[in-house]
Structure 1
Amino acid sequence: MNKTAAVSAVLDAVRTEPIVFTTGYACRIARGIADRPNHFYMTGSMGLASSIAIGIGQQTKRPTVVVDGDGSLLMNPVGLLTAGSMRELPLVHVVLDDGRYASTGGQAVAPAGADFAALALACGYRDVRRVTDVAALGEVLREQMRVCASPVFVHCVLSDVDDLVSARVDLNLHEYTQRLRGHLRGLLAA
């Protein structure tokens, strides 16, 4: 499974609930596959996607997905600590682990082979999953969209590289924020 296949699995399983995509290839791939009102694309602030998703999940009380990267998680693990301490936070934290900073030239993420599942457990996540294929990722996400009531960590191990990645997110970032805000209002009003 590569990053494109993993992001596709997320998009297939999560149709209306909020999804925050980390900066770099994850947000570019998601926007290229299916640009939806429930998406928030990070275009900077590496390492803070989980913080945004935590805020959305806390305020809406609805299952919220964050698609994070291994490098961004290691850059700022505060999201793990925060989410792990919030027992009633409906958050699904998907970490795409390809072992490299793909969008900046493919440099290796240090430390190589970091045990993200152990890190999530140490931070207080009670439900930690490890997936290596699209079917397993989709199954976990579909299940969590039905039952998520506390933080879930999904370590998504990637073994294949992506051929082509979509262009950078090019629209006014304020428009994406307003679009998501309107979508959340609609969800809460329903």
Structure 2
Amino acid sequence: MAVALAVAPDLPTVFTTGFISRIGAATERRNHFYMTGSMGLALSLGTGVALSSGRTTLVVDGDGSLLMNPVGLIMAGAAPDLPLIQLVLDDGVYDSTGGQCSPGRQVDLPGWARACGFSHVHTVDTETGLKRALRLELEQPGAPVFVHCLVTPDTAPPPPRVTDHLEGITARFSEFLQPQV
């Protein structure tokens, strides 16, 4: 995830709930929105941000979260000019709830994205591959992008829970999205 944030530091970025949100919140940037609940809805929220702002939006999702609510793929894929990048970190487990195995590696997640209308689909398993895919897509924005990033489960303890109130997170993120005059 650090690679994605380094390549695209200024994009509106929506983090799924759980450990991904906690890791994202450790950077504390005004262009970040941390889901503190609602597993499976990061892509839906990110789609709304991209549609309403017209800005390329990064959604950092997990395999378990995507599997919880794949309808977001249908909605994002139905908008062929949607400026959105969905980065799915696939570690094969529901890490935030105890490390139970997810069926993500048994499902063709990139195939789902293609079938739903994502015109740009990548599968990466290295930092170099992730950087290359993101840089390529940032050079030609305007289509929904799906990046399936195969990772190993993290053994380090996660950062602390997101402590800012949802209202504060929302206000800061909304202010960031306002057009600059």
2:145 is the counterpart of 1:138? no
Greater relative contact order (Cα < 8 A, sep 6+): 1
> How many Å apart are 1:172 and its aligned residue?
1.2
> How many Å apart are 1:124 and its aligned residue?
1.1
Equivalent-residue separation in structure 1 for 2:105 and 2:39 (angstroms): 19
* Alignment gaps of 5+ in structure 1: 1-6
Counterpart of 1:18 (choices 12, 19, 24) is: 12
2:143 is the counterpart of 1:177? no
Three-state SS of the structure 1 residue aligned to 2:24 is helix
Give the aligned residue type for 1:184.
Answer: L
Q: TM-score, with normalisation over the residues of structure 2?
A: 0.95
* Alpha-carbon contact 2:63-2:104 (below 8 Å) kept: no
Give the aligned residue type for 1:56.
Answer: V
Q: Which residue of 2 aligns with 1:87?
A: 80
Give percent identity, aligned residues only.
44
Equivalent-residue separation in structure 2 for 1:47 and 1:31 (angstroms): 18
> How many Å apart are 1:114 and its aligned residue?
1.4
Q: TM-score, with normalisation over the residues of structure 1?
A: 0.91
Equivalent-residue separation in structure 2 for 1:13 and 1:136 (angstroms): 12
2:64 is the counterpart of 1:71? yes
Q: Alignment RMSD, CA only?
A: 1.3
Q: Which ranges of 4 or more aligned residues in structure 1 deviate by more than 4 Å?
A: none
Equivalent-residue separation in structure 1 for 2:32 and 2:138 (angstroms): 15
* Cα separation, partners in 2 of 1:111 and 1:184, compared to 1, 3 Å: closer
Equivalent-residue separation in structure 1 for 2:70 and 2:153 (angstroms): 25
> How many Å apart are 1:30 and its aligned residue?
1.2
* Alignment gaps of 5+ in structure 2: none
Equivalent-residue separation in structure 1 for 2:39 and 2:147 (angstroms): 19
Task: Map Cα deviations across residues 18-42 of structure 1 (whole Å, 9 max, x no partner).
Answer: 000000111111112x110000000
> How many Å apart are 1:50 and its aligned residue?
0.3
